[in-house]
Amino acid sequence: MRLVVTSIQATEKIERMGDLARHVAALARRQHPACAVAAALSGPFAEMGRLAVAAGYRLQEIIAAPIEVHFVEQDRADDRIDEVHREILDAVQDPASGCSVRDGVDAALLARFFERFADQAVSVTRRLDYVVTGAVPGRSSS
């Protein structure tokens, strides 16, 4: 029963990941041929993109072979995406960054899409952890 319910819930989360990826593509397409992010933010966005893609591939591995070590890795990677997300938001608010209002809005949206993508991957991972261990994620066993 856990597997059936988790599968239904995971399908919704994975579909949301696809929607978020589509939002990223649409924002990049609207800015084409220009870059979708300000030059000052290209480094953090490159890292955020790499981490989000890795989260997707890691989720694929977790679905194929749900073992506990993958669950911990996914959580750690999500923590780093959250840090980069905060760095980007701090940077667009800094007048010294040289970001226009439009650059700031696009960067905030794009960073949020990446951050939510990774959050969805973690959510599926936690649900699969529950299937494997029987422990409810986020609750101590004491």
For position 118, which CATH number holds?
Answer: 1.20.58.220
What are the residues whose beta carbons fall under 8 Å from the beta carbon of 1, sequence distance 6 or more? none
Helical H runs in the chain? 2-31, 42-64, 68-93, 101-133
Residue 88 lies in a domain: yes
Residue 142 lies in a domain: no
Domain total in the chain: 1
Q: How confident is the model at residue 57 (pLDDT cuts 50, 70, 90)?
A: very high
22 near 116, Cβ under 8 Å? no
SS3 28: helix
Residue 93 lies in a domain: yes
Q: So what's the pLDDT on residue 139?
A: 47
Residue 103 lies in a domain: yes
Q: So what's the pLDDT on residue 118?
A: 94
Residue 28 lies in a domain: yes
Q: How confident is the model at residue 137 (pLDDT cuts 50, 70, 90)?
A: low
What range defines the domain where residue 9 resides?
Answer: 2-133
Q: So what's the pLDDT on residue 43?
A: 93
Instruction: Output the pTM of the full model.
Output: 0.85
